[in-house]
Structure 1
Amino acid sequence: MQVQSSFKEDKGKLYLVPTPIGNLEDITLRAKRILQEADYIAAEDTRTSGIMLDKIGIHNKMVAFHKFNSKQKAPELVQMMKEGTVIAEISDAGMPVISDPGYILVQECIKADIPVVPLPGPSAFATALIASGFDAQPFTYYGFLPRKASEQKPYFEAMNQAHATSIFYEAPHRLTKTLTTLASVLDDNRQIVCARELTKIHEEFIRGSIKEVLAHFEQVDPRGEFVVLISPNTDETPKVSMDELVKRVDQLVATGTSKKDAIKQVAKQNGVSKNDLYDFYHQG
C-alpha cells in the first residue's frame, strides 16, 4: 500500500495543470500561480502551449513531453524531480492525462514516490456532457476511437446497448464518415449531440437523431474539434443474448483490449452481471 502526501517539501513534485480548452478566462488563479512558480512546464506541443502561456502572462522554461518521446523523457523528468525540481505538466488544452501521454509520467512518479498533485479545471467531454441534456450519471468516455469503420463498429454496438451516456472525440475531417458508421448501428430513435468549438466564439451544439445530425453535416462542412455524445438506451428489455455478448467481448479483444477489461466493459454497457458473463465466456 502507498500513501501519498502532496505537501512534502523535501523533494520535487509533479503538478497536473489543466489549461483552457478555448476561452483563456477559464484559467484558474491556482493554475496560473503553479505555472509561474514551477521550475519547468512539460507540454505536449511547446509551440502551441507557448502561445497560450504568453497570452496569460506565463514566461517559464518549457520542455517537450509528447507521445513520441514520453517513454524516453519520463525517466529524465523523474530524476529531475528526485533532485528537487518542480514540474507542471499540461496538455495542449484541457486536462492532462485525458487523451494525452501524461499518464506515463504519472505512473513513473508514483513508482518513484514523487507527489502527484492534480488541479481541477476544464475538460471538453465534461463541458459537453453537462450541456447535452442527457443523464450524466453514469457515462462512459471513450476518447478517440479507431479510424477504421470495422474497428469502430464494436464500440458503436456497445454504445447502442449502453444504459449510460456514451462520449467520444472526433476530428472534423473524419466526422461525417464516423457518423455514417454510427448510423448503421445505432437505433433510429436514439438522440446524439455533436458539440464543437466549446468555450469559443463559435461554440455550437447540434442535437437530434443520428439521421438528422448526419444529414446536417452532409450539408454543412464540419469545423473544429468535436465531442460526440449518445443518449442512454432506456429500453429495459434485454436485446442481446449471452452468445452475442461473447462475440462483442471477442471484438474488443481483437482491438487490443484485455479479456478482463472487455468482459467488464461489455457487461456494464449491457446491464448484465460481470461474473455471469465471465463464467459464460470461459465455459466455452
Structure 2
Amino acid sequence: MQRQSSYSQDTGKLYLVPTPIGNLEDITIRAKKVLTNADYIAAEDTRTSGILLEKIGVHNRMISFHKYNSKERAPELIKLMQDGAVIAEISDAGMPVISDPGYILVQECIKHDIPVVPLPGPSAFATALIASGFDAQPFTYYGFLPRKASEQKPFFEQMNQARATSIFYEAPHRLVKTLKTMAQILPAERQIVAARELTKIHEEFIRGSVAELNDYFAQNAPRGEFVILVSPNTEAPKQLSWPELITLVDQLVAAGNSKKDAIKQVAKEHHVSKNELYDQYHQE
C-alpha cells in the first residue's frame, strides 16, 4: 500500500496540467500559475505548446516528451525531480495522460515515490458528452480506434451491445471510412453525434442516425478533429459480471464441453472478448 500527500514534500514533483482544447480563455488561473512556476514543462509537441505558452506569457524551459521518446525521456525527468525540480506535463490540448504518453511518467513517479499533482480542466470527450444529449452515466471512452476496418469491427460490436454511451476520437481524413465500417455493424437507425472544433469559432454538433451521418459526410468533407458518440443500446441485455460468465463456462464444461469451446460459446453469446474471458477464467 502507498499513500501520497501531494503538498507535504519540498522535493520535486510532477504536475499534470490540462491545456485548452480550443479557446485559450479556458486556461485556468491555477494552470497558468503552475506553468509559470515550474522548473520545466514536459510538452507532447514543443511547437504547438510553444504557441500557447507564448500567448499566456509563460517562457519556462520546455522538454519534448511524446510517445516516440517517452520511455527514454522518463528516466531523465525522474532524475530532475529527484534533484528537486518541479515539472509540469502538458499534452497538445486537453488533459495529460488521456490519449498521450503521460501515464508512463506518472507510473515512474509513483514507483520512485515522487508526488503527482493533477489539475482539473478541459477534456474533448467530456465536453462533447455533456452536450450530446445521451446519458452520461455510464459511458465508455475508447480514445482513438485502430485505423484498419478489420481491427475496428470488434470495437463497434462492443458499442452495438453496450448499454453505456460510447465515445471515441477520429481524424477528419479517416472519418468517412470509419463511419462506413460502423454502418456495417450498427443498425442504420442507431443515434450518433459527431462533435468538431469544440470550444472554437466553428464548433459544431452533427446529430442523427448512423445512416444519416454516413450520407452527410459522403457529401460534406469532414473538417477538424472529431469526437464521435454512440447512443446506448437500451434494449441490450444487462452485461453479466466476470464471475457470472465464469459460472456459465463451468456449467458448459460440466455438461461435457471442452473449456475452449465453452469459453468461445459464452463469449459469443454475451458479446465479450474471448481472450479476456479466457484470462479471467484461468485466474480463478
TM-score range, shorter chain: 0.7 to 0.9
Q: Does the 8 Å contact 2:161/2:271 carry over to 1?
A: no
- Alignment partner, residue 134 of structure 1: 134
The residue number in structure 1 matching 2:104 is 104
Structure 2 residue aligned with 1:249: 273
What's the offset of the Cα at 1:243? 4.8
Structure 1: distance between partners of 2:86 and 2:267: 52
Contact 2:193 2:229 in 1 (8 A): yes
Take 2:273 and 2:11, find their aligned partners in 1: how far apart are those partners?
44
Question: How does 1:183-262 map onto structure 2 within 5 Å?
Answer: 183-237=183-237, 242-245=266-269, 248-250=272-274, 253=275, 259=276
In the superposition, the TM-score normalised over structure 2's length comes to 0.87
Indicate if the aligned counterparts of 2:136 and 2:165 stay in contact, CA closer than 8 A: yes
Q: Which residue of 1 aligns with 2:14?
A: 14
Find the counterpart in structure 1 of residue 5 from structure 2.
Answer: 5
How big is the shift at 1:245? 4.5
Preserved CA contact (<8 Å) 2:239 2:270: no
Question: Structure 1's 27 and 189: CA in aligned 2 closer, same or farther, altered over 3 A?
Answer: same
String of CA shifts for 1:216-246, please: whole Å, max 9, x gaps: 0001000000000000001045799735157
Offset at residue 188 of structure 1 (A): 2.2
The Cα of 1:8 is off from its aligned counterpart by: 2.7
Please identify runs of 4+ aligned residues in structure 1 that moved more than 3 A.
Answer: 236-241, 245-248
Tell me how many residue pairs correspond in the alignment.
260
Residues 245, 97 of structure 1: alpha-carbon distance in 2 compared, 3 angstrom cutoff: farther
CA deviation profile, 1:56-113 (whole Å, cap 9, x unmatched): 1111110000001100000110011011000000000000000000000000000000
The code of the aligned residue for 1:190 comes to R
Per-residue CA deviation, residues 30-64 of structure 1 (Å, 9 max, x unaligned), is: 00000000000000000110011101111111000
CA deviations 1:159-212 (Å, max 9, x no partner) are: 000000000000000000000000000022210000000000000000000000
| 1:268 paired residue number | none
Is 1:41 the equivalent of 2:41?
A: yes
Give the gaps of 5 or more residues in structure 2: 241-264
Partner secondary structure for residue 167 of structure 1: strand
Aligned to 1:79: 79
* Letter paired with 1:33: K
What residue is the counterpart of 2:50 in the other structure?
50
Task: Verify the 8 A CA contact 1:172 1:226 in the aligned structure 2.
Answer: yes
Percent identical:
71
Larger radius of gyration: 2
3-state secondary structure, aligned to 1:177: helix
